[in-house]
Chains A and B, each alone.
Chain A
Amino acid sequence: MRVARWAAVMLAFGTVVAAEPARSVDAIVADYVAARGGLAKIRSVQTLRQKGRAFGEGGRQAVVQRELKRPGKIRFEFTVQGVTGVYVSDGGKGWMVSPFEGDMEAKPLPEEAIADAMEQADFEGPLVDWKAKGHKAEWAGRETVAGREADKIKLTLASGTVRYESIDVKTHALLRTETTRKLGNRTVRVEAVFGDHKKTNGLLFPRSVEVGAVDRPQRLRIVVDSIEVNPPIDDARFRRTTAP
């Protein structure tokens, strides 16, 4: 999973500033959902296709495409120098073809990768309907993310995983998430910083994403060039054509 390793570390974005009287989490989340386009609009999304470019260290560059389909299906394509690797999860099982090191056959995705994929395939994100999903949310102060003030929400998922979601105080857009990931036998705090938010079909999407481990300098930067909401995506895109 060199692709995953390619993603690395920080830009020292998150600095928690002095705690102020908290707005209620419900109010913050309601504003966030409205800023994204509203609950009905979010729920109307059945499929999504995003295309972009990923940039790593030393000028390394890749073309990326992500396709999502309810419920829980995700297909991620990563192209470097004409070589395209594909990573797919249908919400339960996952497989990949990763020819970067000469491996031309489909292989099962590691369990931790499937767990990550399921998280990525969630159209709503964990904040939407957090109570109904059995999560716990609490205001955890304010922080500055890429120069913008944000409400930081500590979200304890029903699974027990703790993550933080930072919402822009003014625009109510999601600016940063922080969670933990298993990398090999180590647990690493991973953050994603979102920027350049724009609307497509009435829904707000970040066009810039920077991913890395907290307190480390390396970063994977993704620039989203195009977004299609509800494009036709056949279920076959998520299935293997050869028998496993």
Chain B
Amino acid sequence: MRKLPLLLLLLPAPVLADEVFLKDAGSISGRIVEQNETTVQVDVGGGVVGVPMSRVERIQKGRSPLDDFDEQAKKLSPKDVNGWKKLARFASEKGIPAQAHDAYKHVLSIAPNDADANTALGRVQLDGKWVTAEESYRARGFVRYNNEWMTPAEAQVLQTEAANDQARRDAEDRARDAEQAARDADSRAKEAESRAKKAEQNQYNAPYWGGFGYGVTEWPMAPTFNQIWDEDD
């Protein structure tokens, strides 16, 4: 099975681009600009995508539609509206929308009211003018909240919900802090009680000073004392 990738490289398949197939699923298609033992870099026409070789199942080499696009763009006159529209459609059909976008933008630079280019770029007509979708939403009374367009009423509801959520979280935090403070106080009280008990015990474990001559013959509760000092530190 390890020979499979090599076999696939040799197959005369109708290849459309360099294609990096990922393990499990998914792929990156474009122009391979660099490949080494650890990474393969693919220019997808809208940036370079790096793929760790450890995630690569196989690589299939071929001519990219990006090459065709670049070649055709070089041949076009800058003022050839129909030529640039045709090139934009080609890019769109070949799945390279960044190039289609650039070509349509070029069309708009020479023919600002071209309906095909405006529509392809997501622009809409508003009062006889081509505007962006966002401008049309705003004109229709929608507002933007959390990067989504909605009615002002819905935005108000969401804002209120968010404020209520925040207030609830703050209240929960305060309650948690109060609980913690109560636990700390309880712990301190228990500790004090424990120390008092130890002190009381110490009274009964007082060193025996006599019998073996002078001097301490027993170091009462030493571990306990050390423990308390450590905790206090």
Q: Which residues of A contact B (CB under 8 A)?
A: 8-9, 56-63, 77, 79-86, 88, 95, 97-99, 102, 104-106, 186, 213, 215-218, 240-242
Contact = CB atoms under 8 A, between A and B. Distances in A.
Contact of A97 (B24, B52, B142, B158): B24
B149 A216 contact: yes
B170 interface: no
A242 B26 contact: no
Nearest to B98: A81
Given A58-B133, A61-B97, A216-B142, A82 B30 contact: yes
Contacts of A86: 24-26
A99 B49 contact: yes
Nearest to B43: A82
5 contacts: A63-B95, A79-B29, A84-B27, A85-B26, A106-B25
B60 interface: no
A60 B97 CA distance: 7
A200 to B, nearest CB: 22
Given A8-B148, A83-B28, A105-B55, A59 B101 contact: yes
Contact of A59 (B25, B104, B140): B104
Nearest to B16: A82
A81 B24 contact: no
Given A59-B122, A82-B17, A241 B151 contact: no
Interface string B97-120: 110110010000000000000001
A65 B49 CA distance: 22
Given A81-B46, A106-B23, A217-B137, 10 more contacts: A81-B95, A82-B44, A85-B26, A86-B25, A97-B22, A99-B49, A102-B50, A104-B55, A186-B158, A218-B133
A185 B37 CA distance: 43
A84 B181 CA distance: 53
B148 A99 contact: no
A116 to B, nearest CB: 18
The 7 closest A-B pairs by CB, nearest first: A86-B25, A82-B29, A97-B26, A82-B44, A104-B55, A59-B121, A61-B97
Contacts of B92: 61
A80 B49 CA distance: 13
Given A85-B26, A97-B24, A215-B151, A104 B122 contact: no
B87 interface: no
Contact of B121 (A9, A58, A240, A241): A58
Contact of A82 (B28, B101, B133, B137): B28
Contacts of A79: 29, 95
